[in-house]
Amino acid sequence: MLNTHLKLLESKLDRENLRKLAAIANDRLHAFVADAIELCRPDAVWVSTDSAEDIEHTRQMALRLREETPLGTRGHTIHFDGMEDQGRDREVTKYLVPKADMLSKALNQIERETGLVEVCGLLKGSMKGRTMVVRFMTLGPNNSEFNIPCVECTDSWYVSHSLNLLYRLGYEECKRLGEKAQFFATLHSCGKVDERMVSSEPDKKRIYIDYTTDTVYSVNTQYAGNTVGLKKLALRLTIRKADREGWLAEHMFLSGVHGKGGRKTYLAGAFPSACGKTSTAMLPGETILGDDIAYFRAVGGKCMAANAEAGIFGIIQNVNAKDDPVIRDVLTRPGEVIFSNVLVKDGRPYWLGMGEEPPADGENFSGVWHKGKKDTKGTEIPCAHKNARYAVALRALKNCDPELDNPAGVELAGIMYGGRDAKAYVPVQQSFDWEHGIVAYGASLETETTFATIGKEGVPEINLMSIQDFVAISLGKYIRNNLEFGKKLKNPPIVFGVNYFLKDRDGKFVNGVSDKHVWVKWMEQRVHNEIGHVRTPTGSIPCFEDLQRLFKEVLDKDYSREDYLKQFTIRVLENLAKLDRVEKFHRENVDDAPIELFAVLDSQRERLLEAQFRFGDMIAPDCFLHDDGKR
């Protein structure tokens, strides 16, 4: 017998699509779809299952309606976003907050009822003349305690195609769960589009998150970070779910790092966009389990981790054969890949930093392009956007970890936090304990704004845990949840801080792009307590002899004492200034910051001042004690 909402849908869907929807016995789902149809008024509704035919249909429709164009390599397509739709848009991405509730001042928000009226007004009738595509996907491995079912209604076949590559199919999982499926919902419309099928009213772009109903609304945008609801938009909802249930949802990659005797050690890493996250997850010779979002659960005293996603929506700038051979391989051989906002000439994609000279003309996100073309403000338009992307399924990568869909997840041994810090933190260091790592490296993560977020680039800012934009609970509670999570574990993952962007006095980086592989191998050996360390005021750093050996083993590169001093000399004044900025941020923006946070910062300040008194403002690593007690 049809429920009330399905009866309403009888007049909106044909028999076959009604049958597909009715097969999922979930009244809230049916209500969401019925309300979405009533609001957006599509001409037709198509419900996708997990069948190969349905998956291929969504790809073919993206091509047929010119939301994507085929490229010269089999399976490759190109999608363009508008000139003002090239990244996550902080200004128009807001939480819908009920009057009785309050989020941290650092988070962008609007009163719930006011926001709903605004965004629903923009969505009203937005799908006239189009088909609403109803997709079922999941976050986390299916049939697992990590799993979260999701539904997305969209009028973009490009968005639907992206879902195929980036997430696990969820129609059968939603059927299995039925009324038990507490799903996240996304409603998206491109809004008005121009002749290139690009959203044409960027001033009316809105991305609103209603955490009271686990629903995301997105309109007048196509950029995947704003429209693929399971991406960072769902992360905001997942953080609230994890908060209620006592686990962690993190903006982190997961990687399997090989060590002695054939072992594989799983490490996670949090980096803001364009700070080396994907390239660290994709180190040659190691395995990738995920490049963006990870879920952590305490199971039997162990930290078990799983990738929320099944694909990569990665920044393509600077992907080249030398630095990123695995990604370069999948981007240049036949297989299903969606490129976005690169330059196309004669069916071939070109991007910034690819290692060869691009042509002087072609088509890009601005339309027909030629070298020297300028925008309406007189600024020269590059051949490809800095935030140009590729979407590809993880299984397409030769180094995809075989545990990707393991329902139990994998045991996590280490976590790294990395940002853009030109002046203070050394390239790699180990925390003294879980609490120190979460505060000194995670909650103190400092970076610079990049092209991945719309707005001015190069502005220093605190981006705690690289997740600040996505935290839908108070920031203080989020930090406290991390601190408390460690207490549930018999042996918490070791926390490391990394910084690939430290510069010398002449403004040159003190380490090379490939050096990160050495830092990761050092972490892997520290996890197993195979090598020593030097204890400094900000954490434990590598011993020179170990780095000398690792640089030769990993990169076949000589490593000098001069390199070591440039990279691991402790800069006291810069570190003290960093502590001041971090403390100021938390006192001004985090209303309920844990007392433990300020205690950790105070202890670090005392250690730095004591070292400064003994050794001066620039302290060579040889001044500190090695783990064997010798100086």
Rg, the chain, Cα only: 25
Asked if residue 286 lies in contact with residue 256, where contact means CB atoms within 8 angstroms, the answer is: yes
Q: Nearest 5°: phi and psi at 312?
A: -125, 130
In the chain, count of helices (H) and strands (E)? 18, 33
Long-range pairs of 145-148 with CB within 8 A, sequence gap ≥ 24: 145/297, 145/407, 146/295, 146/297, 146/306, 146/308, 146/407, 146/409, 147/173, 148/182, 148/183, 148/184, 148/234, 148/238, 148/241, 148/308
> Cα separation of 138 and 156, whole Å?
19
> Cα separation of 221 and 199, whole Å?
6
Asked if residue 467 lies in contact with residue 270, where contact means CB atoms within 8 angstroms, the answer is: yes
CA atoms within 13 A on the CB side of 353: 14
Helical residues (DSSP H) of 85-132, grouped into ranges = 112-123
With b meaning 16 or more CB within 10 Å and e meaning fewer, what string describes 506-515? eeeebbeebb
Amino acid at 370: H
Find tokens 């003349």 and name the residue.
Answer: 129
**How big is the chain, counted in residues?**
631
Asked if residue 319 lies in contact with residue 436, where contact means CB atoms within 8 angstroms, the answer is: no
Active-site entry in 40, 275, 383, 543? 275
Tokens of 359: 């042509």
Asked if residue 141 lies in contact with residue 407, where contact means CB atoms within 8 angstroms, the answer is: yes
Q: According to the 3-state scheme, what is the secondary structure of 146-191? A: CCEEEEEEECCHHHHHHHHHHCEECHHHHHHHHHHCCCEEEEEECC
Residues whose CB is less than 8 angstroms from the CB of residue 207 and which lie 6 or more positions away in sequence, other chains included: 89, 92, 93, 94, 216, 217, 218, 221, 226, 233
275 is catalytic: yes
> Cα separation of 353 and 169, whole Å?
34
Supply the residues annotated as catalytic.
275
